[in-house]
A and B are shown apart, each in its own frame.
Chain A
């Protein structure tokens, strides 16, 4: 009953899915990153104490903030593209153009946020 994949790992790595594949992978990484972060965050605020203090020092680190903001922003913008295209399937023919628009929205916003985070960390 289990799935059979007649594809080796080397073939999988050479798969050239280009733009749409990249957004798929980043969407998945972003979703996983947020799920782990938010679970830890809720548990830390529930348990409190030393665990909570330790986790807060992790969250306040500027490197972590850049990573989690990348997860949130990319997942939100890519998710909006997926939602719009899935709810209006006729737009599917424009999906590569939609991905370019998505990067055009994401990159300036993320650049501003990284600048703000780093300038706040630098003091």
Chain B
């Protein structure tokens, strides 16, 4: 392996622009999603998932702690699964995941759409998609 000394620029010369911020956000939101999914699975086990749900149902609850994900299982009482506490947790996971996912789509599109005009269109579409999916998702979470 070549032993070139890694060059590190001081923070003032690196330039903290939006893309740099989103690069960091993608990593940190990934960590946040691991934590939220683990949190939901632990919560499900505390609420009795071991006796009432199979592996697939626990995963479904883990990836989005929303009461409609357990309503067709053997859970006898939906009330502890549909509290504002779990709706807030699910909303947090939804908003973080939407931002992470839509930015991921922009990153992929940037590899293939290279004209400034095309990239502007991608950005406008991504903003529309992010806002609309966040609103629709929050609506579904709080009305189901």
Interface residues of A (CB under 8 A from B): 1-3, 28, 31-32, 34-35, 38-39, 42-43, 45-46, 65, 72, 76, 79-80, 82-83, 86-87, 89, 93, 116-117, 120
B121 contact set on A, CB distance < 8 A: none
Would A72 and B101 count as touching, CB distance under 8 A?
Answer: no
Nearest A residue to B66, CB-CB = A45
Would B56 and A120 count as touching, CB distance under 8 A?
Answer: yes
Would A2 and B114 count as touching, CB distance under 8 A?
Answer: yes
Interface residues of B (CB under 8 A from A): 1, 6, 27, 30-31, 34, 55-56, 63, 68, 97, 101-102, 104-105, 108, 114-116, 133, 136-137, 139-140, 144
In the complex, how many angstroms separate the beta carbon of A4 from the nearest chain B beta carbon? 9
Would A83 and B114 count as touching, CB distance under 8 A?
Answer: no
Question: Are A31 and B115 CB-contacts (below 8 A) given A46-B140, A80-B30?
Answer: no
Where chain B touches its partner, the secondary structure class is helix
Nearest B residue to A92, CB-CB = B6
Query: How many Å lie between the Cα of A82 and that of B52 in the bound state?
Result: 36
Would B136 and A31 count as touching, CB distance under 8 A?
Answer: no
Would A79 and B140 count as touching, CB distance under 8 A?
Answer: no
B133 contact set on A, CB distance < 8 A: 39, 42
Query: How many Å lie between the Cα of A93 and that of B6 in the bound state?
Result: 12
Query: How many Å lie between the Cα of A82 and that of B140 in the bound state?
Result: 32
Contact among B1, B31, B105, B140 with A93 in the assembled complex (CB-CB below 8 Å)? B1
Q: What are 8 contact pairs spanning A and B, CB under 8 A? A: A28-B108, A31-B108, A35-B105, A38-B101, A42-B137, A79-B30, A89-B6, A116-B55
Query: How many Å lie between the Cα of A32 and that of B109 in the bound state?
Result: 11
Nearest B residue to A5, CB-CB = B114
A1 contact set on B, CB distance < 8 A: 115-116
B108 contact set on A, CB distance < 8 A: 28, 31-32
